[in-house]
Structure 1
């Protein structure tokens, strides 16, 4: 059976990280007050946060494969590679259509070619042609995958289109559970992975964000039927990125639940105790990346589930 977790992660070391004006319109998690900060200072702070996170992950036995971003073209969000690519146990690599023009420039086939030297790439599913129709599906930001049960959870938004979801399902065999969700201000949630995380035997989800009671029940029931212990987070906790976590495998099979310090601090003592039963909680200060990029720890990691050569 396909494992839910992996110890192999792709991460992109930023060169010109900063507040992306092209994404701010649909990402309420970006702090617009930071838009006028010095780009050099933002890059310096983000790089420090990135290096500290990757250093600690590697020291804990996680295989982090790091590629430096390129100074040109300008890609301020390249630190979030999970939006343009996903890697699957079948040997499939999926490339995704992105809403912001400068985010489309993040896609790098040279990285896939390089990874193919160590991992088996059987086929590439290229969904990027949907950009010409104004339809988007931004990787495992739009999709939260139960890889064991082949279920893709997706919160519909300007960046998560139903037609592209259907094509993803057709190409990969995943069953889709689609729904709508909003934050405390009633603003549509831009990416599913800020409200939901799926582990091997647990799931974190902000059910309060799903306004429709039938959709809310469908999501919860799907998780329960898949054998997941459901940990419900509040809208306020979601706003602190408590849904933006990723379960990874470290040395000797140890499970690490990766999150930001902001997310960790938002959890109640009871929630931490619950999660401690399933994994070691591993958190990092990512305040610069979160405030400017509107994404957190999970967004920075693209899991490599490809079979080794």
Structure 2
């Protein structure tokens, strides 16, 4: 079994949505969102089933999953993506984040934080959500892809990653900010870093071609390679298939890379071989969830806390 890794948590929070649908409020800057001919009720039922099945597969692999149901008290179509509004950190720290879209601010839940305090050793909760009043946003581990080992916060510049908020987070949590501009073939920036970059213990999957400045692109590659990681370069098509939106977790038999079935199918045999030297692939079928412009990594809020 591979050694324990600070990069790969053994537990995660998931939220089973009640009224899931692609959020029109977030579509303006999320190029990954899609339309569907299904009725909204049919979409919601499919999303519910996908989260239920994904949670069961993760638990079967030995990952502890804390599965919450969306209460439906407030309309929160993106509730299935909890990694954007909170994150957890070794040493007992929790962060709450300011969200760009008003509808997404309704996703924050006291019961999730109370569960963390009851089940894990939580020293403090740092709440950045008040920055919303100042028009500053930082959408958690969507906006930042964190290298928990080398302490670097890789961040694609966007509406959802304010540089002042990023600096505050990095100062509080002892990360080095590494921000960069991105653009797809149509010139649109990546709305979240975690759709283009996944950092595992021994590998990193990246759509490095999206980093606009060639010198900055090379600096990001070099920084990841310095840590001894093998770099897996993802094509534009693979990024569109959510191959960058994956999360390494620790399971009963070692590390696994949780990613969507669509993402796994897009990887080449050579790319899979690099990943599988360190982590077993764990494909999860979430085609309905992906209509909202996020995939498996967005669905998982990793828990980097010690159990009580």
Band the TM-score falls in, shorter-chain normalisation:
over 0.9
Q: CA deviation at 1:2?
A: 7.0
Distance in 2 separating the partners of 1:183 and 1:133: 29
> Which residue in 1 is equivalent to 2:23?
20
Distance in 2 separating the partners of 1:123 and 1:296: 29
- Preserved contact between residue 2 and residue 89 of structure 1 (Cα < 8 Å): no
- The correspondence for 1:30, drawn from 33, 37, 44, is 33
> Which residue in 2 is equivalent to 1:275?
275
- Preserved contact between residue 2 and residue 147 of structure 1 (Cα < 8 Å): no
Distance in 1 separating the partners of 2:259 and 2:119: 28
- Preserved contact between residue 5 and residue 201 of structure 2 (Cα < 8 Å): no
> Which residue in 2 is equivalent to 1:296?
295
Pairing 1:6-17 to 2, within 5 Å after superposition: 6-17=9-20
Distance in 2 separating the partners of 1:246 and 1:111: 20
| 2:28 partner SS | coil
Distance in 1 separating the partners of 2:184 and 2:265: 19
- Preserved contact between residue 99 and residue 160 of structure 2 (Cα < 8 Å): yes
**Runs of 4+ displaced beyond 4 Å:** none
**For 1:181-222, what per-residue CA distance to the aligned partner results, in whole angstroms no more than 9, with x for missing partners?**
122222110000000000011111111101201110110111
Give the length in aligned residue pairs. Answer: 305
- Preserved contact between residue 230 and residue 274 of structure 2 (Cα < 8 Å): no
**For 1:158-200, what per-residue CA distance to the aligned partner results, in whole angstroms no more than 9, with x for missing partners?**
1111111001111111111110112222211000000000001
TM-score by length of 1: 0.96
Q: Gaps spanning 5+ residues in structure 2: where?
A: none
Distance in 2 separating the partners of 1:146 and 1:190: 19
Pairing 1:181-196 to 2, within 5 Å after superposition: 181-196=182-197
Q: CA deviation at 1:114?
A: 2.0
**For 1:131-180, what per-residue CA distance to the aligned partner results, in whole angstroms no more than 9, with x for missing partners?**
11211110000010110111110001011111110011111111111101
> Which residue in 2 is equivalent to 1:49?
50
| 1:178 partner SS | strand
Pairing 1:1-309 to 2, within 5 Å after superposition: 3-31=6-34, 33-34=35-36, 37-252=38-253, 254-291=254-291, 293-309=292-308
| 1:93 partner SS | strand
Report which stretch shifted further, 1-10 or 61-70: 1-10
Distance in 2 separating the partners of 1:151 and 1:58: 29
Distance in 2 separating the partners of 1:134 and 1:230: 35
Q: Gaps spanning 5+ residues in structure 1: where?
A: none
